[in-house]
Chain A
Amino acid sequence: MRLRSQAMLTPLVLGVSALLVFAIGLRLLAFSRFDYGLPEFWFGFTFTMWGGVIVTAPLTSTLLMQAIGLLIYLALVAGYFISTTVTFQRTRWARVLSIAVCGAVAVAIVFQIVRGDEEEAFLDGHGVWACRLALIFVAGWMFVEVVRALQRLSKRERIGLGNPTLRFRLRLWLVSVAAQELVLVMISSVRLGWLPETALQGGYPLLALVNAVAMWFALSPTRAERSA
């Protein structure tokens, strides 16, 4: 009975995390008022996709669903890159890099489909690995950008331009992005055989939940904002 409840815990925690992420995505889409130029829209789009992918993952067992899963994965990477470049308004190099990585991922997926290695396509194909590496890179990039934003806020605090609420939210976002990165690294490590499969049983759902809860609170109004 205990073993059975433990086995049920992982999908349960993952399901809750995915629904939370899905709800965050919908909230962000609503907040953006569907303005394509705002990062809220692209983050909302990305989170909605994330939540959707995890919730529908158990259904992706047939070849058709695997192909759809890969396309969703590709859209996810593209969405992530767009949200990163919109939010972290860097110069031209960020856009060029984003397009290059998305293009490389697309080529890898096409190569995989043409070669027809369906058997392990969903877990270990070139396209999936390209997506994984791209997502790891983007999560790392976001982590660095949030750290830089926190550093900027620290400097502003020193001259009397501090914003404790913003700082608190950025810290939560940092926790969320770190959890995302660890999830991606953990999955890749298990697929490479560097970590045992059992690592996914506890670590993956826990980090997914940390990611979702931290992001939920980072995007929730404070008590002062509610009463204003």
Chain B
Amino acid sequence: MSGSIFEFISAYIEQYTELERLQARGLVRLALRDAGFEPDGIGAEHVGPVARSTLLARLEAGGVSREEASQIVEGLVENVPRGDDTPLQGPEAMLARLSRLRR
């Protein structure tokens, strides 16, 4: 499910900008990396903060005007599919899961 969030964001960026598929995916990868996420490690609940900070900055750096970039980002946040678990990865995944198991 988490990988599909990356796919969704990439497809959305591709659809609402003039970027081609590979460019859109590369831009999203860079934005996620700037925010400390791997492409298959981002959940729906992270999309808002990531989109409004690093993705917005990357869109602007890619030549999209600020207004247009803001509209794209807000549209993305509104339309992102909800309902999957936090897909933490790496050592932090185990530590986070352990605290949930205790409850």
Closest B residue by C-beta to A83? B94
Q: Is the CB of B95 within 8 A of A173?
A: yes
Q: Is the CB of B49 within 8 A of A218?
A: no
Q: Is the CB of A40 within 8 A of B49?
A: no
Q: 1/0 contact trace for B18-31 toward A, CB 8 Å?
A: 00000000000000
Q: Which of B18-58 contact A (CB under 8 A)?
A: 34-37, 46, 49-50, 53-54
Closest A residue by C-beta to B36? A155
Note all chain B residues with C-beta closer than 8 A to A225: 99, 102-103
- B79 contacts the other chain (Cβ, under 8 Å)? no
Contacts A40-B97, A155-B35 given: A87-B91 contact, CB under 8 Å? Answer: yes
Contacts A88-B90, A145-B91, A148-B90 given: A153-B36 contact, CB under 8 Å? Answer: yes
Closest B residue by C-beta to A172? B95
Interface size of A by CB at 8 A reads: 35
Q: A110 to chain B: closest CB distance in Å?
A: 33
Note all chain A residues with C-beta closer than 8 A to B96: 163, 166
Question: Interface size for chain B: under 10, 10 to 19, 20 to 34, or 35 or more residues?
Answer: 20 to 34
Q: B41 to chain A: closest CB distance in Å?
A: 9
Q: Is the CB of A219 within 8 A of B46?
A: no
- B92 contacts the other chain (Cβ, under 8 Å)? yes
Interface of B is mostly: helix
Q: Which of B62-103 contact A (CB under 8 A)?
A: 89-99, 101-103
Q: A157 to chain B: closest CB distance in Å?
A: 8
- A160 contacts the other chain (Cβ, under 8 Å)? yes
- A94 contacts the other chain (Cβ, under 8 Å)? no
- A228 contacts the other chain (Cβ, under 8 Å)? yes
Interface of A is mostly: helix
Q: B90 to chain A: closest CB distance in Å?
A: 5
Note all chain B residues with C-beta closer than 8 A to A151: 36
Q: Is the CB of A159 within 8 A of B53?
A: yes
Q: Is the CB of B95 within 8 A of A159?
A: no
Q: Is the CB of B95 within 8 A of A161?
A: no
Contacts A152-B36, A159-B49, A160-B49 given: A87-B90 contact, CB under 8 Å? Answer: yes
Q: Is the CB of B90 within 8 A of A152?
A: yes
Q: Is the CB of B98 within 8 A of A40?
A: yes
Q: Is the CB of A166 within 8 A of B92?
A: yes
Query: Of B54, B89, B95, B103, which contacts A89 at CB under 8 A?
Result: B89
Q: A179 to chain B: closest CB distance in Å?
A: 16
Closest B residue by C-beta to A174? B91
Note all chain B residues with C-beta closer than 8 A to A189: none
